Structure 1
Amino acid sequence: MFYTDNKLQFPVRVETPDPQFARALQQAIGGVEGEIRVAMQYFFQACGARGDPKFRDLLMNTATEELGHIEMLATAVALNLEGAPVSIKDEVAADPVASAVLGGLNMKNLLSAGLSAMPVDSDGVPFDMSHIYASGNIAADMTANVAAESTGRVLATRLYNLTSDPGMKEMLSFLIARDTMHQNQWLAALEELGGSTGVFPIPNSFPQEQENQEFSYAYLGFQKDGSPSAAGRWSEGPSVDGKGEFVTVSMKPLGSQPVLGPALPNSGAQAEQM
């Protein structure tokens, strides 16, 4: 069950409306790094969370917070659009194509939403939920969440540097801070699950003796001349999960060239393939 009191999670104010910045903000709503993505990701992870209920609580609380971030950003988009100078709106009416280019206005925000936000990215492409990762494995999900918050924070800092509006900087400063917390809370959850030596390799429930352990910690190089790959922490020394030793191997083909059977009749293939 969800509740709302119709108030914003954090103040949203726009001193100088900017249609072009409204378009940029759409990426933070419906882009692959945006708030719809993380809200739905944490929500579906929570719905499928098994085991200690505190992880479900953590996920659902954060999903609910992210819904509030969508509300904030949608309000910011609308304020940047509805307060745009009259001349910009006149240009839209007179020559929509030229206005879209010169004014930076996303025409969907005008034509489909009446100068309001939409569940789309900065190019007007609808968010299609294809970037929602909810595996049912709590450690895999927490690891994916660190990446989601990291790319979200990168986007928020870019938006912060794109605007000179004090109100927008204030709002984005809050969102950047929340991204900092969320990165840390997912890492803390992984630590509570056992840290790198307890969590990895994911899933830790699969017996490693059933995998081909010759390749479990081998960094494979594919340079055609057999020259060594660039060395790094990943190429030698103890593995991060504490269960093996990194080695570097110049990979050579272990299998032969694949040979397929003839094409089936009536499969649409050429006669020479049958």
Structure 2
Amino acid sequence: MFRHTSNLQFEAKPDKPDALFAMKLQELIGGAWGEMTVTMQYLFQGWNCRMEGKYKDMIMDIATEEIGHVEMLATMVGRLLEGAPDDVTAEAVKDPAVAAVVGGMNPQHAIVGGGGAVPADSVGTPWNGKYIVASGNLMADFRANVAAEAQGRLQTARLYHMTDDPGVKQMLRFNLARDTVHQNQWLAAIQQLKEDGLEDTVVPDALFDEENQEHARTHWHLSDGGEADRGPWASGQAPDGRHSFEYMADPSPLGGKASAPAPQPHQYVTSRRDSSDASKQPSQDKSAAEKIKDTFQ
């Protein structure tokens, strides 16, 4: 059960309208790393968690908080759009200088949202459920959560420098702080999973006897850069404690030629077959069943 409280988690009041910044702020709502993404990511991770107890409780606490962050940002966007000149644009844009300014407004805010936020990023691309990660493996998921919070904090930090509005900056300071604590929480949860013996460094902690051990430790030097061997990823003990890194300075391909198989005649794919080969022309007297069989062959 979810219960909505009308008070925001933190204040979201700009000092003045700013339709252009409202468009930029949409990235933190519906972008790939926005609050809609972490909201749905954490909710589905919590719903899919097969263990009742501290992990599920923590996930659901943070997930529910993120719903409030979407509301904060949507409220801020609506207030930034208050008094935005969507109804006088036609007259205003007759002046080229004014047109350049007004042209920065997201037209969807006026056309679709009626002066409010929309579930999209800063260029109007709709939010997509494919952005979320909820695998059921807590170690894999928590690592994805660290990345999501890091990217979200990075984008918030960049937006912080794009506004001089004290009210907007006050809210963004709060958002930065919450992204900080959430990064630390997911990192702490990753360590706790190891200490509890539930997951290990490499995910999943299985099939090590099945994998090709010869290729579970090597760094293949495949670029023009000459310093890849200077990091701990190229030599010494691997973080999982099971492997030792090895640097391959001049690796050779292990597979054969990457050639596609010959095409079926009825696909009309250009190939090196003899142009006189009658087999390039599909038979006209085959039954429908035979043609379907040819296709799947």
- Structure 1 length normalisation: TM-score? 0.90
What are the equivalent positions in structure 2 for 1:1-274 lying under 5 Å apart?
1-84=1-84, 88-89=85-86, 91-94=88-91, 101-103=100-102, 104-194=104-194, 199-204=200-205, 206-223=206-223, 229-249=228-248, 250-270=250-270, 272=272
- How far apart in 2 are the matches of 1:61 and 1:70? 15
Residue aligned with 1:192, SS: helix
Q: 1:256 and 1:227 mapped to 2: Cα distance?
A: 27
* One-letter amino acid of the counterpart of residue 143, structure 1: R
Q: Please say if residues 229 and 247 of structure 2, whose CA atoms lie closer than 8 Å, have aligned partners that are also in contact.
A: no
**How far is the alpha carbon of 1:139 from its aligned partner?**
0.4
Letter of the 2:243 partner, please give it.
G
For 1:122 and 1:246, how far apart are their aligned partners in 2? 42
How far has the Cα of 1:270 moved from its partner? Answer: 4.1
Aligned in 2, Cα 1:260/1:106: closer, same or farther, shift over 3 Å?
Answer: closer
Shift of 1:173: 0.6
Distance in 1 (CA, whole Å) between partners of 2:192 and 2:77 is: 39
Indicate conservation of the 8 Å contact 1:11/1:171, yes or no: yes
Structure 1 pair 21/228, CA: closer, same or farther in 2 (3 Å)?
closer
Residue 23 of structure 1 contacts residue 106 of structure 1 at CA under 8 Å; is this kept in 2? yes
| 1:231 alignment partner AA | R
Shift of 1:90: 5.1
Q: How many angstroms apart in 2 are the aligned matches of 1:33 and 1:209?
A: 37
- The CA distance in 2 between the partners of 1:100 and 1:34, in whole Å, is 29
**CA distance in 2 between partners of 1:170 and 1:149 (Å):** 19
1:130 partner letter: K
Distance 1:186 1:29 in 2: 21
Q: 1:25-52, CA deviations, whole angstroms, 9 ceiling, x for partnerless residues?
A: 1010011121001001111111111235
| Cα deviation code 1:109-132 (max 9, x no counterpart) | 011111100001111111112211
- SS in structure 2 of the partner of residue 208 of structure 1: coil
* Separation (CA, whole Å) in 2 of partners of 1:167 and 1:66: 20
1:258 deviation in Å? 3.3
2 CA distance for matches of 1:69 and 1:227?
44
Amino acid in the other structure paired with 1:102: V
> For 1:192-219, what per-residue CA distance to the aligned partner results, in whole angstroms no more than 9, with x for missing partners?
0116x95221001x13111111111211
Q: How many residues align?
A: 268
Q: Which amino acid aligns with 1:133?
A: V
- Aligned pair in 2 of structure 1 residues 228, 256: CA closer, same or farther (>3 Å)? farther
CA distance 1:154–1:229, change in 2 (3 Å)? closer
Output the aligned Cα RMSD. Answer: 2.3
Report the Cα offset of residue 259 of structure 1: 4.1
Call closer, same or farther: CA 1:251–1:65 in 2, change over 3 Å: same
1-side partners of 2:125 and 2:33: how far apart?
A: 13
Letter of the 2:230 partner, please give it.
Answer: A
The 3 A distance-change label for structure 1 pair 89 and 223 is closer
Letter of the structure 2 residue corresponding to residue 92 of structure 1: T
1:265 to partner: Cα distance:
3.4
Equivalent residues of 2:229, 2:235 under 8 A apart: no
Which letter does structure 2 place at the counterpart of 1:72?
A: M
Q: Which runs of 5+ in 2 are unaligned?
A: 274-279, 281-297
Give the fraction of aligned pairs with identical amino acids, expressed as a percent. Answer: 41
The amino acid that maps onto 1:131 is Y
Structure 1 residue 269: Cα displacement: 2.4
1:177: Cα distance to partner? 0.4
Moved more, 172-181 or 54-63: 54-63
SS at match of 2:220: strand
* Structure 1: gaps (5+ residues): none
